[in-house]
Structure 1
Amino acid sequence: MLEFDLDSIIKKGSLKSFSVASTDRYYDHTTFKIESLSDYIQLVETLSFSFSKNPGGDLLYRGMADSQWWLLPSILRNSGKNRKTYALEHDLAVSFLSEMPDLFSNTNHNFEKLSKMQHFGIPTRLLDFTQNPLVALYFVCAEHPSKQGRVVFTRSWLSHFDEPIVECISSLFLIPYLLNMPLDGWLEKSNLSVSDYLFKVYTDLHDTSPLFVKPIYLDRRMEAQKSVFLLFHNYIRDTADIKYYHYGGKGEKNLAHLSEDLEEIYKEQIQAPTLSFGSSPCFVVDKMSFERLADFYRAKSNWEEGESFSQKFDRAVASRFVLEDDIEPLELKDIWFNFASILIPAKKKRKLLMELQYIGIDEAYIYPDVEHIAKRVKKHFY
């Protein structure tokens, strides 16, 4: 986990001068603070050098002009519950697709469609990151001069836009109503199993959770910004909750072997439910509950000879999981352990913006179109 790696680097002394205590519960993770561009470059250079010694993916950055902003995709930001409103994603996407059919005529993958919509300002389930730390710093300093800014960074392997799981999640915008859609049937169209999907999105086994995807660069802007997208998936619910509560905690026959463990597996959801039906909590899958569920099945001995664990797991949970209609935000524990922050004081933003300009990172670099380049030329003479 990034948190432990950073702790080791800080203890060696090279970053102690930049390390500060976090005062934000949402961003309760390793936090640094810089005062100048040279500070920032020294910090990033030290991190890059330290991580280059042990493979573990790319360093990815997101610059935010206000340090209080959360890591939410645009489709979630206007929702009071931090989840999308009913069918909003579908309606936005289909409306834009119908208005601009030529824009998508040569688009072969749903992730490409999503990234095009994101590129042109349509709210989606994608969140922009960059592989260039200077681009992230520019976005921090370019707006809200009176607000403290934040560069959030993480380390992750990048998925490709044409991978089955990426295409599978990206296709969800095509479905207007997917409440309680069986997970097995949805995944089958992409030749994915339930274990393939759940282990990819709910474990850190391969450093691909959360799911970062490198898109096809549509134009010079995306290329200049070294764009990467964080792809958000939907909540997954374990329908054992209905049978469990309906049978007063005793469980149906096919769940009798599980019923006495459900309270332990989903204890956080029972105590503080993410979703509910009536007064009963839904058993929403998260990283912790999935780890307990997987451990429960690993410990079982009545498996057929020659089966892999994935085959055993898929057979045991067949037709049990469903998709919910809500997009799942990042779990707090992910933010605490797999991300870190660099704070930029409001009073330093203007100076940092000038220093970035001196090394060629300006508005025309970030947005290399005719309008912004003309603006830079005019500014030089006027």
Structure 2
Amino acid sequence: MHELKLENLGSQCFEDNKITSLADYVQKVEELYSILEKENNANEKNNSEEDNVCGENNSEGDQAKELRNDGKRELYFRGQDNIEYGNTCPSLVRNKKQYNHESNMINDFLAKYPDLFKDCQNNVDRLALMQHHQLPTRMLDLTTNALIALYFAVEKDNCKDGVVYVFNNFYNEEFVDKALDASFTFELDKLAIIPHSSSKDHKVLKLKSAKRDSFSDQIEIETSLARMKQTDSKDFITEVTKFYQQLSKHSKSDKEVWGKAYLDYLKALNKRIDYSSLSCDAGKLLHKYDNFNDAVPTIRLYHAIERDSGNFDHIINPVEMYLPKIVTPRIIDQRIKNQQGLFMLVPFIFDNKGVGTESLLTKTQRLINTLLYTRRDVHTGKDKAVAFTIPCCMKEQIRKELSNIGISKSFIYTDATSYAQDIANSYKN
């Protein structure tokens, strides 16, 4: 395999797996899942051994070596019909003017077609419907079905090679480091940003999956933020960035200080916590968290969430907002069901280096890259993301092969027009 150069994807190195037929693609995907099964089995074994060993003394260095995944790794696929596209960003991010009017577009659509959203239970449902009606949103379409992604990669005869990118539900620590370095002038430890939990004996950190369901409080927070006026959302982003800077002063001495302090906070939702009983760093952080929680922009966000979801505890974990999440939507239409679709919720940009230093596209792509599925290159020792490229000359053949197994336009788009086109094409040649 030679290296695929995709400079606009954060200069990320990719394995280039060229696809010449449907059978070739299926074989390569099966190889991926075989590797994934071994990884998950090894992780499950390590977690089981850890549960059986209590009371051992682990140094901080040992903790780093013993880092485990809390859950199984899953794969998600995204097909694009033009490899020269140069990014995997959602449509909203590719147009700066639309990005600056995100909340206006969402609320205008809701006002124009209220009946369309009558069965929606939260903002994820609403954004998913808007996405399928081609309104630009911060939701990036993914699928658990590699064949569906392949269809999107070969859908158009545009004289361009197609490509399928592979994502997963755990953050790549190296890519998170790159994103943090590019975002902030201060040093913020990745373990303060990557969601994690402690093991039973509280000596081993476990990375938490980036996957959330559509009723997740965290997802409701971020999708409600998308509906706020731009001035209000910017003010909130400023508050979060301030908190990151304050957190950076503590994370060097104790990488778990925020995680432990926040768990203590959650145990007492009435906020009547005796900070003096906590460590000095934890107590100081919780005082700063109180300031963040009581800031006017944060209170405005709480009001927005309650408008959309009803009662909501006034609890936000600011560090959860930095990285993208994988969201599983409710099956609210046939298209989501057939496409086995899910979304990556692309986060707002939090940084203190200034808007003009890099484009919005570059900043967003760097965050998206943190969920790329990678394999370690045995020669260089570096992680390479996995991608499948389909030469333009093979697109028509692979479309026919996909159609033979039922993956056609009418299956993907589930409307009468698509079905009619499929019928017409079947008699064309």
Ranges of 4+ aligned residues in structure 1 off by more than 3 Å: 182-185, 187-194, 325-328, 335-339, 377-382
Q: Which residue of 1 aligns with 2:370?
A: 334
Is 1:173–2:226 an aligned residue pair? yes
Q: Deviations over 1:328-372 (max 9, x none)?
A: 613166377754211111111111111111222111111222232
1:130-141 alignment, distance < 5 Å: 130-141=143-154
Give, in whole Å, the separation in 1 of the partners of 2:340 and 2:223: 21
Contact (CA 8 Å) 1:110, 1:171: kept in 2 or not? yes
Count of residues paired in the alignment: 272
Contact (CA 8 Å) 1:21, 1:31: kept in 2 or not? yes
Shift of the 93–327 alpha-carbon distance from structure 1 to 2, 3 Å rule, reads: farther
Equivalent of 1:117 in 120, 123, 130: 130
Which segments of 5 or more consecutive residues in structure 1 lack a partner in the other structure?
Answer: 1-18, 203-208, 239-272, 283-324
Give, in whole Å, the separation in 1 of the partners of 2:129 and 2:213: 16
Q: Secondary structure at the match of 2:365?
A: coil
- The TM-score with structure 2 as length reference comes to 0.58
Q: Which residue of 2 aligns with 1:213?
A: 327
Contact (CA 8 Å) 2:17, 2:387: kept in 1 or not? yes
Q: Which residue of 2 aligns with 1:270?
A: none
Q: Secondary structure at the match of 2:121?
A: coil
Give, in whole Å, the separation in 2 of the partners of 1:170 and 1:275: 22
Amino acid of the residue matched to residue 330 of structure 2? Answer: I
Q: Which residue of 1 aligns with 2:158?
A: 145
Give, in whole Å, the separation in 2 of the partners of 1:104 and 1:327: 33
Which segments of 5 or more consecutive residues in structure 2 lack a partner in the other structure?
Answer: 41-71, 170-208, 241-291, 303-311, 375-384
Is 1:236–2:350 an aligned residue pair? yes
Shift of the 34–375 alpha-carbon distance from structure 1 to 2, 3 Å rule, reads: closer
Q: CA deviation at 1:58?
A: 1.6
Q: CA deviation at 1:49?
A: 1.9
Shift of the 341–201 alpha-carbon distance from structure 1 to 2, 3 Å rule, reads: farther
Equivalent of 2:119 in 95, 100, 106: 106
Q: CA deviation at 1:274?
A: 4.6
Give, in whole Å, the separation in 1 of the partners of 2:152 and 2:332: 20
Q: Secondary structure at the match of 2:158?
A: coil
Q: Which residue of 2 aligns with 1:356?
A: 402
Equivalent of 2:420 in 364, 374, 377: 374
Give, in whole Å, the separation in 2 of the partners of 1:169 and 1:326: 19
The CA RMSD measured in Å over matched residues stands at 2.8
Q: Secondary structure at the match of 1:150?
A: strand
Q: Which residue of 2 aligns with 1:68?
A: 84
Q: Secondary structure at the match of 1:179?
A: helix
Give, in whole Å, the separation in 2 of the partners of 1:331 and 1:225: 26
Q: Secondary structure at the match of 1:329?
A: helix
Shift of the 337–58 alpha-carbon distance from structure 1 to 2, 3 Å rule, reads: closer
Structure with greater helix share of residues: 2
Amino acid of the residue matched to residue 355 of structure 2? Answer: L
Q: CA deviation at 1:180?
A: 2.1
Contact (CA 8 Å) 1:201, 1:211: kept in 2 or not? no
Give, in whole Å, the separation in 1 of the partners of 2:16 and 2:33: 16
Q: CA deviation at 1:381?
A: 4.9
Q: Which residue of 2 aligns with 1:275?
A: 355
Is 1:164–2:217 an aligned residue pair? yes
- The TM-score with structure 1 as length reference comes to 0.64
Give, in whole Å, the separation in 2 of the partners of 1:149 and 1:65: 4
Is 1:41–2:29 an aligned residue pair? no
Give, in whole Å, the separation in 2 of the partners of 1:381 and 1:275: 53
Give, in whole Å, the separation in 2 of the partners of 1:326 and 1:23: 18
Q: Deviations over 1:141-189 (max 9, x none)?
A: 1114300111001111431011011111111222112222234343883
Amino acid of the residue matched to residue 120 of structure 2? Answer: T
Shift of the 31–326 alpha-carbon distance from structure 1 to 2, 3 Å rule, reads: closer
Shift of the 201–47 alpha-carbon distance from structure 1 to 2, 3 Å rule, reads: farther
Contact (CA 8 Å) 2:157, 2:396: kept in 1 or not? no
Is 1:344–2:390 an aligned residue pair? yes
Contact (CA 8 Å) 1:29, 1:336: kept in 2 or not? no
Shift of the 367–197 alpha-carbon distance from structure 1 to 2, 3 Å rule, reads: same
Give, in whole Å, the separation in 1 of the partners of 2:226 and 2:410: 33
Contact (CA 8 Å) 1:232, 1:328: kept in 2 or not? no
Give, in whole Å, the separation in 1 of the partners of 2:95 and 2:398: 31
